[in-house]
Amino acid sequence: MSHALPAPCPDEDVVWRLPETGSGHQVSLLVLPHAGGNAHAYASWRDALPSEVRMLIGQYPGRGARFAEPLPTTMADLAGPVVHALPQDIDNLVILGHSMGALVAFEVARALTAAGRPPRALVASACRAPFLPNPAKVHPERLTDDELVAAIKERGGTEDGVLDEPELREIVLPSLRADFALDDDYRHEGPVRSLSCPVTVIGGREDPIVPVSALGRWSGVTDGPCSTATLPGGHFYFQQQDERFFALLQEVLDRAATAPADRGALV
């Protein structure tokens, strides 16, 4: 994946930079949304994070200010612009992705590592390892709009009000179809162990999409340590376990903020 692709629109539209509440950040957290998700869905996390954490959120094509852009067909369409749009002062960067976003996070981390600026940590939430086939394909190309909406509601994570309102549904369904088609087919090719940073994997114990037994396979992507943690709940477990989830995330952020610097030039 190239990390030198031109940004399709202004950087601030590709990577949201939420207002900072303190005098300066010690660590940056980049959050990459799930299939069909958008940056707005994670903006409330700002309130759960301490002031010394700068929060960044990726926004994918086909939504928000990027609504008019072509819909993604490859993981590079999601990850490449994010890498390009990141602030230059990204020492102490932690990358977190949920569900499909964890695969995007892996590709972003891989590009930064290849550029000599590895992240301090990667957090993969409720997702298979990138070298594994998708065990729970949606097959959006086979589904009517109503069937796709039903499948999305079963997974959770998308407000039913959006999917139940015909005009809103018409707006969001194209990006939903594109994301799930991409997620269905993505499987990393090439050297798997391409990261050097620690990896933390978190999942829901009752997740029907990604079973707990699959979480440990993420150890194959890094030369660094890999740890796993599970919380009660399904695919969007953190919606019911927010305090415990943010406690786990804070441990990762604290370690990243105090880790020895590994500086290089982002190219």
CA-closest candidate to residue 38, choices 14, 12, 70: 14
Q: How many helices (H) and strands (E) does the chain have?
A: 8, 7
Burial class (CB in 10 A: 0-12, 13-18, 19+), 223: exposed
Residue 199 CA to residue 215 CA, distance in Å, equals 11
- The reply to whether 188 belongs to the active site is no
Residue 264 CA to residue 67 CA, distance in Å, equals 34
Residue 235 CA to residue 99 CA, distance in Å, equals 8
Q: Determine which one of 3, 28, 34, 99 is catalytic.
A: 99
Contact 33, 58 (CB under 8 A): yes
Helix (H) or strand (E) run with residue 94 in it: strand 93-98
Cα-Cα end-to-end distance for the chain: 13
Residue 165 CA to residue 38 CA, distance in Å, equals 18
Contact 206, 233 (CB under 8 A): yes
Q: Is 165 helix (H, G, I), strand (E, B) or coil?
A: coil
Residue 126 CA to residue 103 CA, distance in Å, equals 10
Q: Determine which one of 25, 98, 188, 235 is catalytic.
A: 235
Q: Which residues are designated catalytic?
A: 99, 235
